[in-house]
């Protein structure tokens, strides 16, 4: 299957190749935007084949030896997950964010754009020039809140993890949205925090990842497949565990902010980026 590029009616660029599905939008003088889109299209075709060539290494858990990787996206993935290597994590935990980062770099290189973003299934890399801002939605079951991203803040990436998403989760969070310096860093951080939103209860169903997907990088680890009604104290304790992890990552400088959701309850950890939840949230 070849890479496909198309335009939405509103002018946004849509790039799709196998499991990679990107929405790209740039803001600026029309000629600059068109040149930026052409650069993104030119870069996109090589992303998936290069990743596939290194999948064996990318699916291995991080250990004490830094993995030797060739492709720029693979290297971004390894860099993002390396700080979390004390716990189980593979470079695949940052794949969507790393693709978004790489494509954003291709989009803006040499161009004069006011702002831009690359959205890889909800993991978003962001470009902002002075005076520019971007509102990003925080979604669990619906649009539950908004993060205001500005040029002055260090956030250039946002990612969401949790059960029910595109990837398996060891935890039970409905969603964990993380803001960080890059989309890859946000992707890895969201994975780690979502894994910590966890509990032991009969209403939680888990299965080994390999039974759901033989190619999963999680192998025999039990991943969450369903969560029934949980007692309020279990929900609170699970969210508090996730919040503790989010605070640790923020204090270590690995993330800026996080919003955690489970059964309609929320926890927020912020280093300064405004996060606003709706009244329902």
- pLDDT of 281 reads 40
C-alpha span between 159 and 154 (Å, rounded) = 15
H, E, C per residue of the chain? CCCEEEECCCCCEEEEECCEEEEEEEECCHHHHHHHHHHHHHHHCCHHHHHHCCHHHHCCCCCCCCCCCCCHHHHHHHHHHHHHCCCCCCHHHHHHHHHHHHHHHHHHCCCCCCEEEEEECCEEEEEECCCCEEEEEEECCCEEEEEEEECCCCCCEEEEECCCCCCCCCCCCCEEEEEECCHHHHHHHHHHHHHHCCCCCCCEEEEEHHHHCCCCCCCCCEEEEEECCCCHHHHHHHHHHHHHHHHHHHHCCCCCEEEEEECCEEEEEECCCCEEECCCC
- pLDDT of 135 reads 87
- Domains of the chain (ranges plus CATH)? 4-275 (3.10.520.10)
Could you read off the pLDDT tens digit of each residue along the chain, which spans 281 residues? 789 999 999 999 999 999 999 999 999 999 999 999 999 999 999 999 999 999 999 999 998 899 999 999 999 999 999 999 999 999 999 999 999 999 999 999 999 999 999 999 999 999 999 999 998 877 665 556 778 899 998 899 999 998 866 678 999 999 999 999 999 999 999 999 999 999 999 999 999 988 988 888 888 988 999 999 999 999 999 999 999 999 999 999 999 999 999 998 999 998 766 666 654 34
Q: Integer distance in angstroms from the first to the last C-alpha of the chain?
A: 41
Q: Are 173 and 262 in contact (CB under 8 A)?
A: yes
């Amino acid at each position: 299957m070849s890479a496909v590029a198309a335009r939405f009616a509103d002018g946004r660029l849509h790039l799709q190749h196998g499991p990679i599905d990107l929405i790209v939008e740039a803001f600026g003088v029309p000629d600059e935007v068109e040149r930026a889109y052409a650069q993104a299209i030119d870069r996109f075709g090589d992303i998936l084949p290069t990743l596939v060539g290194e999948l064996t290494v990318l699916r291995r858990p991080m250990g004490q030896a830094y993995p030797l990787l060739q492709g720029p996206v693979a290297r971004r993935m390894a860099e993002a997950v390396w700080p979390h290597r004390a716990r189980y994590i593979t470079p695949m935990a940052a794949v969507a964010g790393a693709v978004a980062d790489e494509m954003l770099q291709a989009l803006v290189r040499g161009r004069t754009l006011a702002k831009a973003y690359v959205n890889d299934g909800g993991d978003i890399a962001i470009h902002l020039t002075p005076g520019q801002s971007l509102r990003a939605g925080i979604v669990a079951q619906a649009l539950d809140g908004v993060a205001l991203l500005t040029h002055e803040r260090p956030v250039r990436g946002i990612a969401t993890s949790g059960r029910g998403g595109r990837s398996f989760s060891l935890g039970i969070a409905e969603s964990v949205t993380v803001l960080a310096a890059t989309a890859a860093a946000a992707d890895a951080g969201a994975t780690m925090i979502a894994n910590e939103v966890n509990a032991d209860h009969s209403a939680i169903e888990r299965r080994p990842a390999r039974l759901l997907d033989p190619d999963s990088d999680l192998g025999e680890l039990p991943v969450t497949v369903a969560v029934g009604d949980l007692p309020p104290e279990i929900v609170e304790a699970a969210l508090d565990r996730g919040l503790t992890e989010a605070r640790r990552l923020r204090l270590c400088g690995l993330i800026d902010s996080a919003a955690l959701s489970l059964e309609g309850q929320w926890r927020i950890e912020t280093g300064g980026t405004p996060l606003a939840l709706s009244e329902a949230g």
